[in-house]
Amino acid sequence: MYTSQTLDTIRKNIDSIDSTIHDLLMERAALASSIAAEKKQRGMQIVHPAREARMIRRLLARHHGALPKEAIARIWRELVGAVSMLQSGLTAQFYCESRDPENFKIVTDYFGSVLPVEYVSSAQQGIQSVAQGQCDFATLPWPSESAQAPSWLVELIELIEQDRAAISDKLPLNIVQSLPFVCTKGAQSARKYITLTRAKFEPSEDDCSFIVLKSKTAFDAHDILTQAGLESNRVLSFSTAQDHYVLLDVEGYLEENSPLLESLKKALSPDIHLLSIGGYPKPIIL
């Protein structure tokens, strides 16, 4: 067998580094578990998608060398899924029309390979499971641009509206994430999803917000956006027998009392109701 003092030295160094990495992973997991346990005991929000986005962006910004950035993103997503989520007893549900493995992979790439993700037979089932506390996350198809919006989207909006109006100590229902979370430049997936949970929608420093406008009659959302000085990536209009809805995917983080949201409210006529339903950190493009 061929031996080389140089190779033997390199291999010993790698073994030493592997042990150090493992020690640090165990130490990190212990710290994350302690934080998650404290938050759970105090009834605090355990998972913070905005903080996770900031963390991965920071790591990618400082990264260099032979290890691909895709690996860095996946390693840290696995860490979050395996510790913060799994050790806290969190669960997730997923719905899409096709059980294509590629669809499921987008979800597990975000939640990690060890967190339980259950496929459910309808979007409504996932929405109700989160609302009633039977699971922590529901990942649903991105709302379609078609003229006929899915019925579950109206149900989701109405449920969030009822949740906002209720007096409760529960964390609010919000959309907090868009999947896929990490994309390779030039190969963005046509398969997109939103994730619903009971958590506050927080700023990641590069975000989009979901705003719903609701009225008994149709109205021109583009004109309203222009008056408010807002930029929207997309406007989805749809109606039921009772109401007309417009879902806005707005650039930036709009918190409850932000100047931009106040400008939008001022541009609305009295018969149009505004509802913030969350948002998402912009996907990380590698």
Residue-wise pLDDT for 212-247, tens only, equals 999 999 888 888 888 888 888 888 988 888 999 999
Longest Cα–Cα distance in the chain: 84
Average pLDDT over residues 255-263: 81
Looking at the DSSP assignment, which residues form a beta bridge with residue 193? 141, 179
What's the pTM? 0.91
Residue 145 reports pLDDT greater than 80: no
Q: Are 212 and 224 in contact (CB under 8 A)?
A: no
Residue 27's contacts (CB-CB under 8 Å, 6 or more residues apart) are none
Instruction: Give residue 90's pLDDT.
Output: 87
Instruction: Give residue 188's pLDDT.
Output: 61
Cα dist from 8 to 16, 18, 19, 20, 254, whole Å: 12, 15, 17, 18, 56
DSSP count for the chain of H helices, then E strands: 8, 11
Question: Closest Cα partner for 240 from 175, 149, 166?
Answer: 149
Residue 196 reports pLDDT greater than 60: yes
